[in-house]
Structure 1
């Protein structure tokens, strides 16, 4: 630190002497009168002392050359204004009080010229090193194309030119057609249109690509670049500016364009919110989202000690309580409602894994149906204003126990007398990377160089990022009036075999085999989101709502009660009676 201050002090001393003498030369056309020369040392000493004091006060002597910022330049300007302002005041005082004449004579124009020269040279030389490193074109060892024109572009170029990342940006591609930025330059790199992708890759010999902007066309972009021979594909986080390998989640992400974050915040802010299944894939993300949107207090409820501990540790910026209990136990659950004036219930607690529910039919029915009924009934009894139930696409024409139990809960929520509570359900497909989903399973097989197992060549599934799904779930609460089943627009279904092929490309393991092992018990080839074509649009294009299914609620209650003490065979018969479209596929084989 001391050596840096001494270096800059010496640097400024030399510059100040040169600029002052140059100011006199310019003022007197290179012929300085002898009467002026004898005063220059005194004037120089006074100006430099003032300059040093103010440059030190504005911390100019503590900056790092390679990181000089606009704020640092502004501080240099302020230091000059103050130092030359005080010097001018001293000179004016000398003119009015002849006894103080140690700085006289001095032409006012010399002060102005010296101010301009000193400010310009000191600022330029301090900024010069940074400008050099940021604008020099390093030796191109890894020609890199940057895709997306936003704030992240300049950051990546600077990091590359400082040698902080092993990439050499040579061109920029704008994803927007007819963008005004096309054919312009950013940090000496030309911006091309997306239609020039092949030409840019070929002409520049592109080996790596960094995508800086979220786009729903990332999947197609990845395929095009792979076909053009580009093997290194990265994405830059718009928040952290970190560069990471592209993931399958990045490729399949949909990025809904109608997320109304302002409406979600108004809906969540200041509320006391109960989240059941708070430690699960959906529940934990809901917990993080409501914290982000300003919930007053979050009540985390889960029957898994580990999961509850994990989500509790992740919520550091909010007031929350942890409830370790099972929703099947009504008495314990009621104590939570008694102890808290709850504004919103987000019910995500459920057994969701199809094969496990097939092996444990009684437990699936008890947890998913009776546990959910406990949540709904207590919310009504304690007049919770709003309840949002997480459902699934497997509830549509179910072929498995899990889907059938979720459909029963939908029917119960739509037909119960909800009193002062507004109860709605949200139906969507698979969330990317959730526990037990196909993506972590495929990833593990690929990393271990094992064949990828797919149940059927034609099987398809809907996918959505868990963060996007949960934000849309919260958004449904802003439009729910009770009794609805909302359906999230999941885009086009993805063939699982295509997903496997894409992951092989992503990890550079294209030689791995894919083995078809046959559909598991209860598994469908194709998931659906609608039971009938009766769907209505909401004000958000990513959220639809179905017409309610009206049934005899008393009969529904009787049928559900019968399941409580029935054996497994009888339980399935009752499920089929409640959900006539339930076609139980216990073992479909190939």
Structure 2
């Protein structure tokens, strides 16, 4: 955006103008000092003063350039720029005095250098901050007619977002206040915008200030914190948006100021997983990696994160040619330096599987191929046994026979006290890899709950039902499940794949289980609708093989 103060000047012209402007200030400051001291512009010491003035004109721009005064972006002038100006002024005054007296000129009254320096400081600092002030006034005018918003979070992210909104009118917003739970911040102003209260004050402030949208500016907020804010905001009927989460920012997937709607993954999120990132970075780069089920939701995310770690070769194996083709294209575009192969194959084909292992010679295998839908597997138990048990046996045997260093089996919480065919087959798969674990090939299993956004998960089903106008079907009002996001699941898998010694079953700390009824109602509200009024919620009863709650471990 062009500067309102100098709208038609290019950057280099503005850079050239500043030294010229400062030379004018040197003249004004020098004669101002003379006038303040002698109450006349032509005192008896004027011949000596001319030498001081000439030296000041020569040295001041050079010193200012040395301290970086002409490199600053003055529309963002702040206390740091004041310090730069003060440092430059101190260097310039000391150098002037040393050179002036070193050349043998007659002494001036001691007040002249002091007054000269103070006046020049005020003129230079005032000119820079006048530029910022003009921009501030311009930005305030530009906010008229924009949507009034509250920003939740008066930390670093909130300050940056607020500055962007006020400086450029970004997002079409007019920030009318900030919210923060730190009582010490209440009443302070950030860029002229007040901190109005805490999260408890949200409903009242939204109505009082005519707020049309609330923006959450806490990238590290947990699911519990976001749920609390969401519940307070939804009662007012205004929209809640958020800055990206820390994981998205760290992956470079998105810029911090790309606001998005609050989603279920935000409401269900938990404390950030502490990963041994150094170990992961050391373990996978330069390795040949193979992922079975590479076209599935977990397999695709595994492929994305592993490709970013620069393996020597990455092979994706799956029967779904369409998804395999799409993820292959995506990975090739995002990671052109990584050798990749997409393999259309069935893990039940033992001969082809062995041939592919021989050709690819993987050092690390992630086994994500499985049938996972409980009711469907209850009706098709033979296929569940073939794919989840025999398929795992084939993959594990191929890993041993071809010298794979490490094989990670992706399991489920339904393998604990299995009450259905799918859970039983996954428990047998865990026992298979534990039985084959040895010094040459180390096997570990990773067990987690339901994955939000995965292929065939409950969320897309609910979304389709909401889009169709309802009803949303829930099996039982009290049925509970553990949930996690796809990135969380993949992080656990990668961590387990690098730290396991062999034979272990790794379990993610899942936090609290979630009522599916609450999940459905939250999703309806996230779509701007009211459960029970705009969209009905209907209970259909537990399906064959389903339990009221899931377990992650076997007691004792």
Shorter-chain TM-score above 0.5: yes
What is the match of residue 216 of structure 1? 223
1:490 to 497, 500, 510: 510
CA contact under 8 A between 2:405 and 2:442: conserved in structure 1? Answer: yes
Would the aligned equivalents of 1:325 and 1:333 in 2 still touch at CA under 8 Å? no
Stretches of structure 2 that go unaligned for 5 or more consecutive residues are 1-7, 106-111, 250-254
1:280-295 alignment runs, 5 A limit:
280-293=296-309, 295=311
Residue 471 of structure 1 aligns to a residue whose secondary structure is helix
- Change in Cα spacing, 1:368 to 1:36, as seen in structure 2 (3 Å) is farther
Deviation at 1:527? 4.4
TM-score, L = length of structure 1: 0.73
* Contact 1:146 1:171 survives alignment (8 Å): yes
Q: Name the SS for the 2:502 alignment partner.
A: coil
Q: Give the Cα separation in 1 of the matches to 2:351 and 2:82.
A: 67
Partner of 1:254: 270
Shift of 1:464: 0.8
Q: 1:193 to 1:531 in 2, by over 3 A?
A: closer
So what's the TM-score if we normalise by structure 2? 0.77
Give SS of 1:284's match: helix
Provide the rounded CA distance (Å) in 2 between the counterparts of 1:113 and 1:221: 50
Please give the alpha-carbon distance, in whole angstroms, between the structure 2 residues aligned to 1:365 and 1:153. Answer: 52
Distance 1:8 1:417 in 2: 68
Counterpart in the other structure of 1:329: 349
Gaps of 5+ in 1: 97-106, 535-590
Conserved? CA contact 1:254–1:491, under 8 Å:
yes
Cα distance in 1, alignment partners of residues 81 and 326 from structure 2: 43
1:187-202 matches, within 5 Å, as 187=191, 188-190=193-195, 192-197=197-202, 200-201=205-206
Q: Cα deviations across residues 318-346 of structure 1 (Å, max 9, x unaligned)?
A: 62421313223333333444345544222
Cα 1:383–1:42 change in 2 (3 A) is: same
> 1:391: Cα distance to partner?
0.7
> Which residue number corresponds to residue 391 of structure 2?
371
Q: Which residue of 1 aligns with 2:5?
A: none
Contact kept, 8 Å, 2:30 with 2:53, in 1: the verdict is no
The correspondence of residues 135-146 of structure 1 with structure 2, limited to 5 A, is 142-146=147-151
CA distance in 1, matches of 2:497, 2:10: 61
2:130 equivalent in structure 1: 125
Deviations 1:364-420 (A, max 9, x none): 333322221122112223333322110112333444433332222112112235342
Tell me how far apart the structure 2 counterparts of residues 307 and 53 of structure 1 sit (CA, whole Å).
63
1:488 to partner: Cα distance: 2.2
2:292 is matched with 276
Q: 1:396 to 1:3 in 2, by over 3 A?
A: closer
1:536-551 pair list within 5 angstroms:
none
What residue number does 1:232 align with? 239
Hey, what does 1:173 align to over in structure 2? Answer: 179
The match for 1:338 is: 358
C-alpha separation in 2, matches of 1:26 and 1:495? 76
Q: Distance in 2 between the 1:394 and 1:196 partners?
A: 42
- Indicate if the aligned counterparts of 2:29 and 2:117 stay in contact, CA closer than 8 A: no
Say whether residues 1:448 and 2:468 are aligned partners. Answer: yes
Could you tell me which residue of structure 1 aligns to residue 415 of structure 2?
395
Tell me the distance in 1 between the aligned counterparts of 2:186 and 2:307.
Answer: 40
Match of 2:190 among 186, 193, 206: 186
Report SS of the residue matched to 1:436.
coil
Q: Indicate the residue corresponding to 2:322 in structure 1.
A: 306
Partner of 1:33: 42
Q: Aligned partners of 1:431, 1:488: CA distance in 2, in Å?
A: 12
Partner of 2:554: 532
Matched, 1:384 2:386: no
SS of 1:351's partner is coil
CA distance in 2, matches of 1:204, 1:91: 61
CA distance 1:4–1:384, shift in 2 (3 Å): closer
CA 1:132–1:320 in structure 2 vs 1: closer, same or farther (change >3 Å)?
Answer: farther
2:109 equivalent in structure 1: none
Against the structure 1 CA distance between its residues 336 and 134, is the aligned structure 2 distance closer, same or farther, given a 3 Å change threshold? Answer: farther
Cα 1:353–1:36 shift into 2, 3 Å: farther
- CA pair 480-133 structure 1, distance change in 2 beyond 3 A: farther
Aligned to 2:520: 500
Tell whether the 8 Å contact from 2:444 to 2:502 is kept in structure 1 after alignment.
yes
Question: CA 1:139–1:418 in 2, change beyond 3 Å: closer, same or farther?
Answer: same
Q: CA deviation at 1:122?
A: 4.1
CA distance in 1, matches of 2:189, 2:280: 39
Q: Which residue of 1 aligns with 2:370?
A: 350
Q: Distance in 1 between matches of 2:32 and 2:80?
A: 32
Q: Residues 25 and 491 of structure 1: is their aligned pair in 2 closer, same or farther, counting only changes over 3 Å?
A: closer
- Show the counterpart of 1:160: 165
Query: CA contact under 8 A between 1:15 and 1:121: conserved in structure 2?
Result: no
2: CA distance, partners of 1:87 / 1:135? 42
Q: C-alpha separation between the residues in 1 aligned to 2:360 and 2:413?
A: 32
Hey, what's the Cα distance between the residues in 1 that align with 2:9 and 2:194? 39
Q: In structure 2, what is the Cα distance between the partners aligned to 1:114 and 1:180?
A: 37
Does 137-146 or 504-513 show the bigger shift?
A: 137-146
Are the equivalent residues in 1 in contact too, given 2:75–2:135 (CA < 8 A)? yes
**2:28 pairs with 12, 21, 25, which one?**
21
Superposition RMSD in Å: 4.2
